[in-house]
Amino acid sequence: MSFGKQLASRLSASCAHVAVHKFPDGESLVRVLPVLDSHPIVVRSLHDPNSKVLEILFAADALRRAGAKRLTLVAPYLPYMRQDTVFRHGEPVSQHVFARLLASWFDRVLTIEAHLHRTHRLSDIMPGRSLSTVKEIAAWIRRHADDCFVVGPDSESGPRVRAIAKHAGVPYIVGQKKRLGDRRVRIALPALPQRGRAVLVDDIASSGATLAEATHALRKRGIGRIEAVVVHALFAADAIKRIERAGATRVLSCDTIAHPTNAISLAPVVAAALNRGRG
Ligand code: R5P
């Protein structure tokens, strides 16, 4: 079931499909049904973002014209968060441009594990919240891998990995990552706990380089069983194969992006946040 349908069912709300017509030249035309609620919630995961972003803005305009007074966007995956500063002369801060664009159309944005680094909270850049998956991933570990240690591939993953390990009651380590290119990273791991099973946790897997390198480093140290758990399954075409070739026993993901690896459902977390927002 789609994320939107799961949410509607948990909120006991109706669910309407936004029709998107693609013209031969690549432009999109959206059409919404008459608005039954003055506060509709637009649900769209924004991976592969460029046309999807325009389409949700068109939908926002159509919904306001159809009578919506308030608009919430639920984007389980929120793109353009990684470019949060000018890394090299001549670049934009895409995160801020994108945040201003969403804030001009939506009263509130809810997302899951936005890749926030130098920006501490989503509300620093737009009205909204980024929800945590710490409890859900820890619950999966308690249920399926309580004999493991948790591995964060890089220092950015450190705080989440610490929190997940604490909730799951297992040890953890955090590696050091150096990015050498879009599809190449180097990872160094510290001393490992005395356990033969590792669960690698990261927020995003794109080329798969990070999880593949971390898996390879764990294999080299003799770890026999390695599961890779990622929140946002962006996975480029050969990413899963790459991670499995490196020696991962299993790759699984949360369902912020529909993907065959989805194993952890997050609609309950979003529904609870939306219910809190109503109260
Ligand atoms: C970046 O620091 C993120 O947390 C991920 O580690 C990164 O986006 C993964 O990308 P890739 O799969 O291309 O290594």
78-97 pLDDT, tens digit each: 999 999 999 999 999 999 99
Q: Is 156 in the pocket of ligand 1 (CB under 6 A)?
A: yes
Kindly state whether residues 118 and 226 are assigned to the same domain. Answer: no
41 lines ligand 1 (CB under 6 A): no
Atom of ligand 1 nearest to the CA of 208: 12
Task: Give the ligand 1 atom nearest the CA of 157.
Answer: 4
User: Do 231 and 127 share a domain, yes or no?
Assistant: no
Domain range for 165: 134-264
User: Do 14 and 34 sit in the same domain of this protein?
Assistant: yes
Query: Measured in angstroms, how far is the CA atom of residue 32 from the centroid of ligand 1?
Result: 35
Could you report the per-residue pLDDT of 229-263, keeping only the tens digit for each? 999 999 999 999 999 999 999 999 999 999 999 99
Please state the rounded mean pLDDT for residues 209-235.
97
Nearest to 44 by CA among 63, 57, 26: 57
Domain count of the fold of the chain: 2
pLDDT computed for residue 125 by the predictor? 97
Does residue 272 belong to any structural domain of this protein?
no
Same domain, 73 and 178: no
Residue 270 in contact with ligand 1 by CB distance below 6 A: no
Asked whether residue 205 is domain-assigned, the answer is yes
pLDDT of amino acid 21: 97
Q: Tell me: do 113 and 203 sit in the same domain.
A: no
Looking at the structure, tell me whether residues 21 and 139 fall in a common domain: no
pLDDT tens digit string along 160-211? 999 999 999 999 999 999 999 999 999 999 999 999 999 999 999 999 999 9
143 and 225 assigned to the same domain: yes
Both 114 and 145 in one domain: the answer is no
Same domain, 141 and 223: yes
The answer on pLDDT for 137 being more than 50 is: yes
Amino acid 131: pLDDT: 98
**Domain membership flag for residue 275:** no
Domain boundary among 131, 158, 191: 131
Rounded CA-CA distance 199/149 in Å is: 6
The yes-or-no answer on residue 177 being catalytic is: yes
Query: Is residue 134 predicted with pLDDT exceeding 80?
Result: yes
Short-list 264, 272, 269, 253, CA closest to 140: 264
Any domain includes 62: yes
* Final residue belonging to a domain, choices 131, 149, 183: 131
In this structure, what CATH number is given to the domain that contains residue 119? Answer: 3.40.50.2020
Place 278 in a pLDDT band, splitting at 50, 70 and 90: low
Residues 212, 242, single domain; the answer is yes
Q: What are phi and psi of 230, to 5 degrees?
A: -125, 150
Q: Which of 135, 177, 178, 241 is catalytic?
A: 177
Residue nearest to atom 9 of ligand 1 (CA): 205
pLDDT at 32 over 70: yes
Last-in-domain residue among 108, 131, 154: 131
Look at residue 270 and tell me if it is in a domain: no
The yes-or-no verdict on residue 37 having pLDDT over 90 is no
Q: Whose CA is nearest to atom 3 of ligand 1?
A: 204
Pocket test for ligand 1, best of 206, 229, 256, 257 (most atoms within 8 A of CB): 206
204 Cβ inside 6 Å of ligand 1: yes
Instruction: Round to whole Å and give the CA distance between 22 and 54.
Output: 12
What is the C-alpha separation between 28 and 244, in angstroms, rounded?
37
120 and 217 part of one domain = no
CA-to-CA dists, residue 163 to 84, 97, 145, angstroms: 24, 31, 16
Asked if residues 195 and 171 have their Cβ atoms less than 8 Å apart, the reply is: yes
**Spacing of C-alpha 28 from chain mean position:** 25
pLDDT tens figures, 42-69? 999 999 999 999 999 999 999 999 999 9
Q: Which residues pair with 42 in a beta bridge?
A: 73
Do residue 19 and residue 31 come from a single domain? yes
Expressed in angstroms and rounded, the spacing between residue 188 Cα and the centre of ligand 1 is 15
Ligand 1 midpoint to CA 211 (Å): 8
